[in-house]
Amino acid sequence: MTVRTRPSLLRLDSSADHPGESVSRRLTTLFADLWGERHGTAGYRHRDLAAEPVPPISSAYCVLGRRAEIKGVVPASEVHALVENAQEEREWALTLPLITEVLAADTVLLGVPMYNFSVPASLKAWIDRVSFPGAFPEGSLRETRVVVVIARGGAYGPGTPREAFDFQEPYLRAYFGDLGVAEEHLHLVRAEMTLADRVPGLARFQGIADETLAEATATLTALATGR
């Protein structure tokens, strides 16, 4: 298990939108800035999954993953010994640094806009790659705090007409829970109707947009500052 000697934050942004237009980026920036004021920047790592996409996994990744599964639980530090060709070497070279970043972080912060009822492809590519068999042994993420900033142009929360269209929040909750993140350390913070100020047909929902953004801001402030 990774031994952490100082507070560390891994920030992942997946919005393809311009930083000035992206609500998820605005909120992850708020969290990161407040966290940095408290802990400094030495333990801060930012990965922009839209600007520098993680390559999709290939057949070589799948073959290497199955080989690891057949062997049982193989620590990430020992997977290289299972590599048999240049393609697998490349896949593991792309994968190990991402896994290492997660294991080294006290807090993982994700900015996740809703695209077509689910998560952006840039985030899904990261998820597919870090989910290498045995990468996170049981208990390795039990104390890791995961803060997911969810932004969506409409409203999909409980009780809304489009609640059943939300394949974003349930997916992320199930994924990180299955990865071993404790329920009390998994925080999904939601801002809805983020397009109300730009799309005329949604203008009547500006109140909901303002309210959920204010709630998200307050929650993230408390999480970042420890209050």
pLDDT of residue 34: 97
Annotated binding residue at 171?
A: no
Q: Residue 118 falls within a domain, yes or no?
A: yes
> Domain span at residue 26?
9-57+105-225
**Model confidence at 104: pLDDT above 80:** yes
Q: Residue 206 falls within a domain, yes or no?
A: yes
* 126 close to 176: Cβ distance less than 8 angstroms: no
Q: Residue 79 falls within a domain, yes or no?
A: no
Q: Residue 2 falls within a domain, yes or no?
A: no
Annotated binding residue at 131?
A: no
Q: Residue 38 falls within a domain, yes or no?
A: yes
Annotated binding residue at 193?
A: no
- In 73-120, DSSP assigns E strands to 107-113
Residue 147 β-bridge partners: 109, 187
pLDDT of residue 157: 85
**Model confidence at 39: pLDDT above 50:** yes
Q: Provide the token pair at 195.
A: 């397009």
- Provide the CATH number for the domain around residue 42: 3.40.50.360
Number of domains in the chain: 1
**pLDDT tens for residues 86-103?**
999 999 999 999 999 999
Q: Residue 111 falls within a domain, yes or no?
A: yes
Q: What is the mean pLDDT of residues 171-200?
A: 95
Helices 206-225 and 23-39, interaxial angle, to 10°? 20
Q: Give residues with Cβ within 8 angstroms of 49, minimum separation 6.
A: 12, 13, 14, 120, 122, 123, 125, 126
113: phi then psi, degrees, rounded to nearest 5: -75, 155
Q: Residue 64 falls within a domain, yes or no?
A: no
* 45 close to 8: Cβ distance less than 8 angstroms: yes
Annotated binding residue at 115?
A: yes
pLDDT of residue 158: 86
**Model confidence at 227: pLDDT above 70:** no
Q: Residue 180 falls within a domain, yes or no?
A: yes
**Model confidence at 1: pLDDT above 50:** no
The 3-state DSSP class for residue 52 equals: coil
